[in-house]
Structure 1
Amino acid sequence: MCAKPFFFCLLRSSNNILCNRFKMDSAEDKFCLREVLVSFKSCLLNDDKDVLVEHYLTGWKGLVRFMNTLGTVFSFVSKDAVTKIQIMENYLKGDNGERYRTLRSMVEYELSGNLVDLTKRSSHPDSGCRTLLRLHRALRWLQLFLEKLRTSSEDSKTSTLCSEAYNDSLANYHPWLIRKTASVAFFALPTRNTFFEVMNVGSPDVVVEMLGEALPYVSKVYDFTQELYVQRNLLDLP
């Protein structure tokens, strides 16, 4: 771990990615937008009335690969997302894994069993409800950012697009230092075309078309989660 404060480590690493074409170390880790599309499309159950947690996590793994292609710029989100994904996968593999098969069954199980810290973190600091809420908040940011990329012009500043998406979503849950660090790090983001190259599906026109196909499914998953958490008063879990 870098001995210097996270702020300076992030800035130093971010400088190394300017004007570069980003590549992953192996084919297994290579991001592909099509895989994210399939995962989030597969999430939805019963006419969009429930979400399969396993496919949700698979979609998130794809989004983590996307963030990792950009070096450390998004590490303040991707590292936390990896931790949250591991927690949820442990629930799925555990003795009560069937209870965590869908988002609705997880919420009902944890609330009925008093397995959620509703007002302060105490006996259940890593409940499934709280863990998935953190992924849910970050998903909104990526959803907004990718939509801005899709609808922007070729010469649009990705730093501005990303900052706008962040300020409208995830920034509301971050302390000042992280917000400041993020706003500076975003200046190291590559061009729109470089982002599209990272998505590994073809030309910019093909990427725009596929984003137009994928993002509605991401939105449906987000909207269902948001509605369920509103109904059960879970949006402000500590």
Structure 2
Amino acid sequence: MEEDKTLRKMAEAFKELANTLNQCPDGEEARLELAPFSRACSLVSPLFRCLGIAFKFAELDYVAKVNDLADASRSILTLPVMMDGDIEANCVRRAGSHTRNLLRVKRGIDMVKVLFEHILSSEGNSLKDAASKSYAQVFAPYHGWAIRKAVGAGMYALPTKAQLLSKLKEDETSARIQMQSYIASATAVVMYIDQLFISRKLGIDW
């Protein structure tokens, strides 16, 4: 399987999303289109795969929910329109709703951002500390005991930093540049999605 330029594709796609958000006039709600958003999110999936068994649950869950949003993008133009449709249908919190899936996908984007932050700030070749901290920060509060235990066990099978970069076909310098770019752009996208939920009084902790 070719993982060539996974990091670059991710970074570029999220940079385009962030640029779209930045172009929105002050005081107006940005209308991020669902199709480019779901495409950008799908480019993150190979990274979960590279992390191995510890993040298998995240990969499977994330891919299924991104696919749902991609399907929805055939008939729904923007994220706000999608959410407002679910609010109108009174199905926001129902399992399988687009809005619920968006919240889960947002956590996947956020976890990768936090993982990259920890990787860039840590020394050495182990990913265990960075992966454990990012999981604990983003996913663990929403997972039951069984999943947390399985993830903890899987942390011992993580690739090393060198192995991850090799799988991604990057060297330290190029990886750092792409990770920093993704962190900046994903931060803007995550904040935007959080604001969509908060402005509609839906909350983000569920």
Give the shorter-chain TM-score range: 0.7 to 0.9
Between Structure 1 and Structure 2, how many residues are aligned?
A: 199
Q: Structure 1: state its 5+ residue gaps.
A: 1-23
Deviations 1:2-23 (A, max 9, x none): xxxxxxxxxxxxxxxxxxxxxx
Give the 3-state SS of the residue equivalent to 2:54 in structure 1.
coil
Tell me the equivalent position of 1:81: 62
Cα offset, 1:51, TM superposition:
2.6
| TM-score, normalization by structure 1 | 0.75
Cα offset, 1:182, TM superposition:
0.4
Q: Which amino acid aligns with 1:191?
A: T
Give the 3-state SS of the residue equivalent to 2:53 in structure 1.
coil
Deviations 1:197-216 (A, max 9, x none): 2333x420121122112210
Name which of 177, 185, 195 aligns with 2:154.
185
Tell me the equivalent position of 1:110: 86
Deviations 1:144-175 (A, max 9, x none): 0111112222x153111111111111111100
Q: Structure 2: state its 5+ residue gaps.
A: 25-29
- Larger Rg computed on CA atoms: 1
Tell me the equivalent position of 2:73: 92
Q: Which amino acid aligns with 2:172?
A: P
Cα separation, 1, equivalents of 2:171 and 2:64? 33
Q: Which moved more, 1:136-145 or 1:47-56?
A: 47-56
Q: How does 1:93-172 map to 2 (within 5 A)?
A: 93=74, 97=75, 100-111=76-87, 113-118=88-93, 121=94, 125-153=95-123, 155-172=124-141
Cα separation, 2, equivalents of 1:230 and 1:83? 25
Deviations 1:27-57 (A, max 9, x none): 3x65611110121122242526343322222
Question: Does the CA contact (< 8 Å) of 1:139 and 1:222 recur in 2?
Answer: yes
Q: Of the two structures, which has the highest relative contact order with CA contacts closer than 8 Å and spacing of 6 or more?
A: 2
Cα separation, 1, equivalents of 2:121 and 2:152? 22
Q: How does 1:1-238 map to 2 (within 5 A)?
A: 24=1, 27=2, 30=4, 32-44=6-18, 45-47=20-22, 49-93=30-74, 97=75, 100-111=76-87, 113-118=88-93, 121=94, 125-153=95-123, 155-200=124-169, 202-235=170-203
Tell me the equivalent position of 1:15: none
Percent sequence identity over matched residues? 21
Deviations 1:52-109 (A, max 9, x none): 322222222221111213443311011111111221122122xxx1xx3222222223
Cα separation, 1, equivalents of 2:202 and 2:161? 36
Cα separation, 1, equivalents of 2:37 and 2:67? 13
RMSD: 2.1
Cα separation, 1, equivalents of 2:90 and 2:178? 39
Question: 1:46 and 1:214, CA in 2 relative to 1: closer, same or farther beyond 3 A?
Answer: closer
Q: Which amino acid aligns with 1:178?
A: I
Deviations 1:201-233 (A, max 9, x none): x42012112211221001110111112112212
Cα separation, 2, equivalents of 1:198 and 1:54? 28
| TM-score, normalization by structure 2 | 0.86
More helix by share: 2
Q: Which amino acid aligns with 2:91?
A: V
